Structure 1
Amino acid sequence: MLAAGMALTLCALQLCPVALGGSQPPLLVERSGSRRLGKVGGFAWEDCGGGKDPVVLKSLSVAPDPISIPGSLRVSAAVSSSKAMASPLKAVLVVEKALGDLWIQLPCIDQLGSCTYNDVCTVLDNLIPPGTTCPEPLLTYGIPCHCPFKAGSYSLPASDFDLPDVELPAWMTNGNYRVRATVSSGGQELACVKLAFSLQSQ
């Protein structure tokens, strides 16, 4: 389930294309527990499932802060799931950007912003064709990259992901963002994560 969780997290960071892309081996201390999301200008996360969702994000660390594009993103995460997950898995993102003291919800444009992905499993299959070996570091740590996902606990030690030099739309450049990401299946919520982060394009 961590692969779907990682994909969801990176989609929430609006970095879906690198969710499971090429990466180099690890180096970072993982931080556990959530941080207050009211903060502006720093990374924070919260599992918003209220302890009722079958999938729980136990820990998440993202560096640097702010996230720099292009650059390298170090991510560590731990996820537990009490239920096996199968297609279709629907993901809904609500993305807000700070404009002064106001938070403005961004629309979904070209799969960026407040978007709905009707099946995360299909997204994963498009990134990594079925039958192909899972990329590093998922392969090393025994993390599956295709649906269905077995129930259990998965952990990704801090690993580096290269963020390509892509041209972001003007409304997705420098700034502070808040994201609420939920995953559901058949109308039942399976996971909920809130993120706060800053983006800095060079």
Structure 2
Amino acid sequence: MDATVLFALTLSLMAAFVFTPATGSQLSWRRVNKVKLLGFDWKNCGKPDAAAVMKTLSLSPDPITIPGRLTASASGSTSVDLGAPLSVNVTMEREVGGFWVKVPCLEEVGSCHYPDACDVLNQLIPPGHDCPEPLHTYGLPCRCPFQSGSYSLPQSDFFLPYMDLPSWLTNGDYRVQGVLGSGGNELGCLKVALSISSD
């Protein structure tokens, strides 16, 4: 998929489903003073002829401190228009005693199926509002539909605010895979690996 979509979904889904409690959530959440994301790594995991491909994604510094500043750049392409409904299947795993254990879906957090990422983006950035910076400056879209073509986000600075963590999301090593689909067809796949350390 285009870099904007993958980058937006990667960061938005991390923020929306890992660090922000769902409305009406019965889970236990805790405010943390500082979160560090260490050893961020990524790779495409889609088919060789995948319609949506992330070509580059760079995040710095390492570790990424929250709250704090993040510098990011990304590029990618999609050979098809991407519109609603745009499903995302997320698989989250945590290393426990040398084994990778699948984290279940708990109130939209963990290994979950999101039937329409377009709806998620509309909730985060309601229609009628400008896309946040620096997407707005570079004329990059932040909601569906995303037209086919190549996209690029030059190196840009973001501020990451304080975040809440679910009580079960403890310090450790995590792997997250997101599969993008539409109409039962896989469009692209992205794997992210990182370690979480929180105060």
Aligned to 1:29: none
Aligned to 1:8: 9
- 1:109 deviation in Å? 2.1
Aligned to 1:197: 194
SS of residue matched to 1:7: helix
1:6 partner letter: F
- 1:110 deviation in Å? 3.2
Q: Percent identity?
A: 50
Residues 157 and 114 of structure 1, relative CA distance in 2, 3 Å threshold: same
Aligned to 2:55: 58
- 1:73 deviation in Å? 2.7
Q: How do 1:1-202 residues align onto structure 2 when only pairs under 5 Å count?
A: 1-11=2-12, 14-16=14-16, 42-202=39-199
Measure, in 2, the Cα distance between the counterparts of 1:61 and 1:2: 11
Measure, in 2, the Cα distance between the counterparts of 1:160 and 1:154: 18
SS of residue matched to 1:144: coil
Conserved in 2, the CA contact under 8 Å of 1:69 and 1:200? no
Conserved in 1, the CA contact under 8 Å of 2:50 and 2:187? yes
Measure, in 2, the Cα distance between the counterparts of 1:82 and 1:160: 28
Greater share of strand: 2
How many residues align? The count is 179
Measure, in 2, the Cα distance between the counterparts of 1:102 and 1:167: 27
- 1:86 deviation in Å? 1.0
2:5 partner letter: A
Residues 176 and 64 of structure 1, relative CA distance in 2, 3 Å threshold: farther
SS of residue matched to 1:42: strand
- 1:58 deviation in Å? 0.1
SS of residue matched to 1:162: strand
SS of residue matched to 2:168: helix
Unaligned runs of 5+ in 1: 19-40
Measure, in 1, the Cα distance between the counterparts of 2:60 and 2:107: 26
Residues 137 and 11 of structure 1, relative CA distance in 2, 3 Å threshold: closer
Measure, in 2, the Cα distance between the counterparts of 1:66 and 1:92: 27
SS of residue matched to 1:72: strand
SS of residue matched to 1:172: coil
Conserved in 1, the CA contact under 8 Å of 2:3 and 2:55? no
- 1:92 deviation in Å? 0.8
Residues 199 and 71 of structure 1, relative CA distance in 2, 3 Å threshold: farther
- 1:157 deviation in Å? 1.6
Conserved in 1, the CA contact under 8 Å of 2:85 and 2:117? yes
